[in-house]
Amino acid sequence: MYSVRIFCARHARVFEKTYTVLESLFVLLHPILNKLGYNRLEKPVAIIEKLTKGFLFDCQMCGQCVLSSTGMSCPMNCPKNVRNGPCGGVREGGFCEVNSHMRCVWVEAWNGAGRMTSGLERIRAVQPPVNRELAGSSSWLRVVREKAELRLSLKQQAKQGGPDLAKAEMANAFSDARKNHPGVAPLATEPKAALAEQAVVEQTSVHKTHKAASQ
Protein backbone atom coordinates (compact mmCIF):
# COMPACT_ATOMS: atom_id res chain seq x y z
CA MET A 1 0.00 0.00 0.00
CA TYR A 2 1.34 3.41 -1.00
CA SER A 3 0.87 5.08 2.39
CA VAL A 4 2.50 2.17 4.27
CA ARG A 5 5.45 2.20 1.90
CA ILE A 6 5.96 5.95 2.43
CA PHE A 7 5.68 5.39 6.19
CA CYS A 8 8.39 2.72 6.07
CA ALA A 9 10.88 4.94 4.24
CA ARG A 10 10.18 7.72 6.72
CA HIS A 11 10.91 5.36 9.59
CA ALA A 12 13.80 3.68 7.84
CA ARG A 13 15.93 3.52 10.95
CA VAL A 14 13.55 1.24 12.85
CA PHE A 15 13.34 -1.12 9.90
CA GLU A 16 17.11 -1.07 9.47
CA LYS A 17 17.58 -2.19 13.07
CA THR A 18 14.90 -4.86 12.85
CA TYR A 19 16.34 -6.19 9.62
CA THR A 20 19.91 -6.30 10.92
CA VAL A 21 18.82 -8.38 13.92
CA LEU A 22 16.69 -10.72 11.82
CA GLU A 23 19.40 -11.18 9.24
CA SER A 24 22.05 -12.22 11.75
CA LEU A 25 19.53 -14.54 13.36
CA PHE A 26 18.79 -16.20 10.02
CA VAL A 27 22.49 -16.53 9.20
CA LEU A 28 22.97 -18.30 12.53
CA LEU A 29 20.14 -20.65 11.59
CA HIS A 30 21.86 -21.59 8.33
CA PRO A 31 22.93 -25.11 9.45
CA ILE A 32 19.34 -25.91 10.38
CA LEU A 33 17.94 -24.35 7.23
CA ASN A 34 20.47 -26.25 5.19
CA LYS A 35 19.42 -29.50 6.83
CA LEU A 36 15.76 -28.77 6.17
CA GLY A 37 16.77 -28.08 2.59
CA TYR A 38 16.69 -24.71 0.85
CA ASN A 39 14.84 -26.27 -2.03
CA ARG A 40 12.00 -27.35 0.25
CA LEU A 41 11.99 -24.03 2.11
CA GLU A 42 11.98 -21.86 -1.00
CA LYS A 43 8.25 -21.73 -1.78
CA PRO A 44 6.87 -21.31 1.77
CA VAL A 45 9.46 -18.70 2.74
CA ALA A 46 8.90 -16.83 -0.52
CA ILE A 47 5.18 -16.67 0.29
CA ILE A 48 5.82 -15.26 3.78
CA GLU A 49 8.35 -12.80 2.36
CA LYS A 50 5.93 -11.67 -0.31
CA LEU A 51 3.13 -11.09 2.19
CA THR A 52 5.29 -9.22 4.72
CA LYS A 53 7.34 -7.13 2.37
CA GLY A 54 4.42 -6.70 0.01
CA PHE A 55 2.39 -5.10 2.82
CA LEU A 56 5.24 -2.96 4.13
CA PHE A 57 7.19 -1.92 1.03
CA ASP A 58 4.98 -2.83 -1.96
CA CYS A 59 7.66 -5.44 -2.62
CA GLN A 60 7.66 -6.80 -6.19
CA MET A 61 9.67 -9.94 -5.32
CA CYS A 62 12.64 -9.21 -7.57
CA GLY A 63 14.52 -11.76 -5.47
CA GLN A 64 17.49 -9.45 -4.89
CA CYS A 65 16.35 -7.18 -2.13
CA VAL A 66 18.40 -4.02 -1.60
CA LEU A 67 15.99 -2.21 0.75
CA SER A 68 18.66 -1.50 3.35
CA SER A 69 20.73 0.19 0.64
CA THR A 70 17.81 2.21 -0.68
CA GLY A 71 16.54 3.90 2.44
CA MET A 72 13.84 1.22 2.82
CA SER A 73 12.16 2.49 -0.36
CA CYS A 74 11.79 -0.35 -2.89
CA PRO A 75 13.39 0.56 -6.25
CA MET A 76 11.15 -1.85 -8.11
CA ASN A 77 8.28 0.59 -7.51
CA CYS A 78 10.12 3.10 -9.68
CA PRO A 79 8.34 2.96 -13.07
CA LYS A 80 11.76 2.82 -14.72
CA ASN A 81 12.94 0.13 -12.27
CA VAL A 82 15.99 2.31 -11.64
CA ARG A 83 18.29 0.59 -9.15
CA ASN A 84 20.67 3.56 -8.86
CA GLY A 85 18.37 6.54 -8.73
CA PRO A 86 16.91 9.06 -8.92
CA CYS A 87 16.71 9.74 -12.65
CA GLY A 88 16.87 13.26 -14.00
CA GLY A 89 13.14 13.66 -14.47
CA VAL A 90 12.01 14.18 -10.87
CA ARG A 91 9.24 16.79 -10.68
CA GLU A 92 9.16 19.89 -8.50
CA GLY A 93 8.37 18.85 -4.95
CA GLY A 94 9.90 15.40 -5.42
CA PHE A 95 7.23 13.67 -7.49
CA CYS A 96 7.71 10.95 -10.09
CA GLU A 97 8.31 11.86 -13.75
CA VAL A 98 6.13 9.04 -15.05
CA ASN A 99 3.38 9.07 -12.44
CA SER A 100 3.00 12.61 -11.19
CA HIS A 101 0.75 11.59 -8.26
CA MET A 102 3.41 9.38 -6.75
CA ARG A 103 6.37 10.52 -4.64
CA CYS A 104 9.64 9.69 -6.40
CA VAL A 105 10.77 6.35 -5.00
CA TRP A 106 14.37 7.58 -5.02
CA VAL A 107 13.73 10.91 -3.32
CA GLU A 108 12.20 8.84 -0.52
CA ALA A 109 15.16 6.46 -0.74
CA TRP A 110 17.85 9.13 -0.26
CA ASN A 111 15.88 10.78 2.51
CA GLY A 112 15.33 7.39 4.13
CA ALA A 113 19.01 6.54 3.82
CA GLY A 114 19.82 9.80 5.58
CA ARG A 115 17.75 8.63 8.57
CA MET A 116 19.53 5.29 8.83
CA THR A 117 22.78 4.46 10.61
CA SER A 118 24.65 3.16 7.59
CA GLY A 119 22.12 4.16 4.94
CA LEU A 120 24.14 6.87 3.25
CA GLU A 121 27.19 4.70 3.03
CA ARG A 122 25.18 1.83 1.55
CA ILE A 123 23.19 3.84 -0.98
CA ARG A 124 26.48 4.88 -2.61
CA ALA A 125 27.25 1.35 -3.78
CA VAL A 126 26.67 0.82 -7.51
CA GLN A 127 23.85 -1.72 -7.87
CA PRO A 128 23.90 -4.19 -10.77
CA PRO A 129 21.01 -4.70 -13.17
CA VAL A 130 18.29 -7.00 -11.84
CA ASN A 131 18.71 -10.68 -12.62
CA ARG A 132 15.25 -11.54 -13.95
CA GLU A 133 15.88 -15.26 -13.46
CA LEU A 134 15.51 -14.76 -9.74
CA ALA A 135 12.14 -12.97 -9.85
CA GLY A 136 9.63 -14.40 -7.43
CA SER A 137 12.19 -16.21 -5.30
CA SER A 138 13.07 -15.55 -1.66
CA SER A 139 15.66 -12.86 -1.22
CA TRP A 140 15.97 -13.65 2.49
CA LEU A 141 17.09 -17.21 1.86
CA ARG A 142 19.47 -16.03 -0.83
CA VAL A 143 21.15 -13.61 1.55
CA VAL A 144 21.53 -16.30 4.20
CA ARG A 145 22.98 -18.74 1.68
CA GLU A 146 25.40 -16.13 0.41
CA LYS A 147 26.53 -14.81 3.74
CA ALA A 148 26.86 -18.19 5.41
CA GLU A 149 28.21 -20.21 2.54
CA LEU A 150 30.25 -17.65 0.71
CA ARG A 151 33.62 -18.32 2.20
CA LEU A 152 33.20 -22.04 2.10
CA SER A 153 31.70 -22.26 -1.35
CA LEU A 154 34.30 -19.94 -2.84
CA LYS A 155 37.05 -22.13 -1.45
CA GLN A 156 35.41 -25.24 -2.81
CA GLN A 157 34.68 -23.65 -6.15
CA ALA A 158 38.24 -22.45 -6.43
CA LYS A 159 39.35 -26.04 -6.01
CA GLN A 160 36.89 -27.15 -8.68
CA GLY A 161 38.18 -24.61 -11.15
CA GLY A 162 36.40 -21.44 -10.04
CA PRO A 163 32.79 -20.36 -9.85
CA ASP A 164 30.41 -20.01 -12.76
CA LEU A 165 32.01 -17.49 -15.12
CA ALA A 166 28.95 -15.34 -15.76
CA LYS A 167 28.13 -15.17 -12.06
CA ALA A 168 31.70 -14.36 -11.15
CA GLU A 169 31.94 -11.49 -13.62
CA MET A 170 28.72 -9.90 -12.40
CA ALA A 171 29.95 -10.27 -8.81
CA ASN A 172 33.29 -8.77 -9.75
CA ALA A 173 31.90 -5.83 -11.73
CA PHE A 174 29.50 -4.91 -8.93
CA SER A 175 31.63 -5.94 -5.97
CA ASP A 176 30.75 -2.75 -4.08
CA ALA A 177 27.06 -3.64 -4.05
CA ARG A 178 27.82 -7.24 -3.12
CA LYS A 179 29.51 -6.14 0.09
CA ASN A 180 26.14 -5.32 1.62
CA HIS A 181 23.84 -7.29 -0.63
CA PRO A 182 25.51 -10.45 -1.92
CA GLY A 183 22.12 -11.50 -3.26
CA VAL A 184 22.23 -8.89 -6.06
CA ALA A 185 24.97 -10.86 -7.78
CA PRO A 186 24.84 -14.26 -6.07
CA LEU A 187 27.63 -16.80 -6.31
CA ALA A 188 26.28 -19.64 -4.18
CA THR A 189 24.48 -22.48 -5.90
CA GLU A 190 20.81 -21.68 -6.39
CA PRO A 191 18.28 -24.35 -5.33
CA LYS A 192 16.10 -25.50 -8.19
CA ALA A 193 12.96 -24.07 -6.66
CA ALA A 194 14.43 -20.58 -6.61
CA LEU A 195 14.93 -20.62 -10.36
CA ALA A 196 11.63 -22.24 -11.22
CA GLU A 197 9.77 -19.03 -11.86
CA GLN A 198 11.59 -17.61 -14.80
CA ALA A 199 8.69 -15.55 -16.01
CA VAL A 200 9.93 -12.09 -16.86
CA VAL A 201 8.34 -9.53 -14.60
CA GLU A 202 6.33 -7.71 -17.21
CA GLN A 203 5.13 -4.21 -16.69
CA THR A 204 2.49 -5.49 -14.31
CA SER A 205 4.66 -4.19 -11.50
CA VAL A 206 4.40 -0.70 -12.95
CA HIS A 207 0.63 -0.94 -13.30
CA LYS A 208 0.31 -2.10 -9.73
CA THR A 209 2.36 0.85 -8.61
CA HIS A 210 0.13 3.27 -10.49
CA LYS A 211 -2.98 1.79 -8.97
CA ALA A 212 -1.52 1.92 -5.50
CA ALA A 213 -0.46 5.51 -5.89
CA SER A 214 -3.78 6.76 -7.17
CA GLN A 215 -5.65 5.20 -4.28
Residue 98 found at the interface with other proteins (CB under 8 A) = yes
Binding-site member from 14, 29, 126, 158 for other proteins (CB under 8 A): 126
Segment interacting with other proteins (CB under 8 A) among 33-41, 92-100, 142-150, 186-194: 92-100
Residue 124 found at the interface with other proteins (CB under 8 A) = yes
Residue 117 found at the interface with other proteins (CB under 8 A) = no
Q: How many of the chain's residues bind other proteins (CB under 8 A)?
A: 42
Which is nearer to other proteins, 43 or 91 (by Cβ)? 91
Segment interacting with other proteins (CB under 8 A) among 11-19, 42-50, 91-99, 187-195: 91-99
**What is the distance between the alpha carbons of residues 49 and 55, in angstroms, rounded to a whole number?**
10
Residue 133 found at the interface with other proteins (CB under 8 A) = no
Closest contact distance (angstroms) between CB of 57 and other proteins is 19
Chain positions contacting other proteins, by CB under 8 A? 79-94, 97-98, 104, 106-107, 110-111, 120, 123-124, 126-130, 165-166, 168-170, 172-174, 176, 203, 206
